[in-house]
Structure 1
């Protein structure tokens, strides 16, 4: 008996593979994430190097190599997310803490979600499209997200912050689609009883977002474009941040 395995693709992968999702036939209903990647590499040897640095997602969570997968799981192959140098979708309800949206984001709306009487400090990190990077002029950015998993991992960041800095609150809104020059792509709002915790939690939130949230960006120039992934060394979203 054979089983059908369907693996969704994101960011630049559909362009590379020529399909939005890969379908494989395999003689088992279970397989490890590492073995699935081996099957994909055998089926697409020209993309083996890219498959090797990608991660498998299973039911909206990153799957370590030894994780057992089932053919009925929701599976995706995720290239490195758009971490890098320091600076299907729709709008969610206004008071949801974690939002993926194609609409413009207002900083004040996100900050309002974390303002509570018990907190004396709040901060907003606002990421915008910059024009020049390493001497190359960007015309605009295009963002893509694996939306349900992106929201789940943003909530994970909020939970981690609440554990590390008791009482701290976090809200994150991220754009998808085209984001023009000087337009806002992401707002991360954090509040805490005291400013020291607020500063630390805010920095943690943006670094963790760049590490684990499945959002990708395409830099679009006057003469071309390129999907940008993680640029801070080997990408491993299954490990915690160690500098906090």
Structure 2
């Protein structure tokens, strides 16, 4: 069985590649078995591999998931999505923009527009709208951040952003949600994420907005690398043990 595994963030950096070709001699291979095989084959990245989840066909896979040779596989290290319509300009001559079909969810390497994201959820029958804007913070304690670099598993990230919108609509009927996220270099005080929600009444806006950013950090495969004056580090999930398959209560 010959498999291709996509790598991201710290694992890709440690192994100096964004893709692994891996051959397995047995007939049956589960997600847990593959992670252990990779950990043994690449001991320099074993800790990161074991703390990651395997995505199969852009979905987080339980440990007992059986793998096939034609599966789209990716190792997803702990995510860190978002701390806190875009036009091409002279600073971003090669804009990469990816949207869901309904236009509500966007990943781009160009600067984000708060107004454009908010406009996606404004409707005549909603009396409240709330927009959360996450920006790059310069100082964390005594440490100075020079800029951030974001990376995403784009197709899976978009599908999970859309899933957040569906979850919100189920929990708060009638609430609309749009999310725009930046990838690539994001300088200090620049916007990395915009989350806009609207509803008939303001209380649902507050609850849905908080829910959206927490789910973004939990499930969406977007990673953040902090660049400092004297080094750098990939920042993953920092809200306790990470399990993207946990249901949000």
Aligned pair in 2 of structure 1 residues 148, 29: CA closer, same or farther (>3 Å)? farther
Match of 1:165 in 2: 172
Runs of 4+ in 1 over 3 A off after TM superposition: 92-95
> How many aligned residue pairs are there?
238
Match of 1:27 in 2: 25
**Alignment partner of 1:97 out of 89, 93, 104:** 104
Match of 1:53 in 2: 51
Aligned-residue RMSD, C-alpha:
1.7
Mapped contact 2:4–2:22 kept (Cα < 8 A): yes
Mapped contact 2:81–2:220 kept (Cα < 8 A): no
Mapped contact 1:83–1:232 kept (Cα < 8 A): no
Q: CA deviation at 1:152?
A: 0.4
Match of 1:129 in 2: 136
Q: CA deviation at 1:20?
A: 1.4
* 2:230 is the alignment partner of 1:223: yes
Mapped contact 1:29–1:70 kept (Cα < 8 A): no
Unaligned runs of 5+ in 1: none
Using the size of structure 1 for normalisation, the TM-score is 0.93
Where do 1:110-129 residues align within 5 Å?
A: 110-129=117-136
Match of 1:155 in 2: 162
Match of 2:243 in 1: 236
C-alpha distance after superposition, 1:190-221 (max 9, x if no partner): 11111111110000000000000000011001
Unaligned runs of 5+ in 2: 85-94
Q: Give the whole-Å Cα distance in 1 for the aligned partners of 2:66 and 2:140.
A: 41
Using the size of structure 2 for normalisation, the TM-score is 0.91
Q: CA deviation at 1:45?
A: 2.3
